[in-house]
Amino acid sequence: MDSGQHAEPRKPGIFRTFVNLLVAVAFIFGLSWALRTFVFQPYEIPSGSMETTIMTGDMVFSEKVSYYMRDPEPGDIVTFQDPEIPGRVLIKRCIAVGGQTVDLQDGKVVVDGVVQDEPYTRGLPSEPLTPALGTTITYPYTVPEGHLWMMGDNRTNSQDSRYFGAIDESTVTGRGMLIYWPLNNIGLLG
């Protein structure tokens, strides 16, 4: 080759471009799957059981990382598998954990003999519900070890542990962290 000639750069072939595109798409889908499986999951809220903390139609992120390091605690807003409908996820507030005793007295929640301060209920009474068929709940109720007592903030419109009993901790899918839609409801949950 003499000094007056230049080598033409090779243009990538269609096959190579297609393979690169497939690799990029596979990476994006893999990353998306990993994030949804191990880090966070988006949910749309279908009912008013957590109003006014979370409104019907709000879009919520449930994060999973904190429960790799600690167990759910009273006060946490938790997503979990519906004990009655496989594949459906519910969101409620954790009221008590295994070993604690829950009682409902005069419309108030009492845990281990202490009346709970629950401003998120807007003063709605916490009354017993008729339990689901095959479920027996009597008060005071001691939450079994490895289980959680869950209640919706909208106490007069929530089928929760008063209905289906304490949930198995292994059914927890994450901690409600953030309302991200609609824009006028954006905010951290807590």
Q: Return the active site residues.
A: 49, 92
What CA–CA distances, in Å, run from 152 to 38, 39, 90, 143, 162? 25, 24, 10, 17, 10
Q: Is-contact 40 62, C-beta < 8 A? A: yes
The span from the CA of 36 to the CA of 131, in Å, is: 33
The span from the CA of 7 to the CA of 32, in Å, is: 42
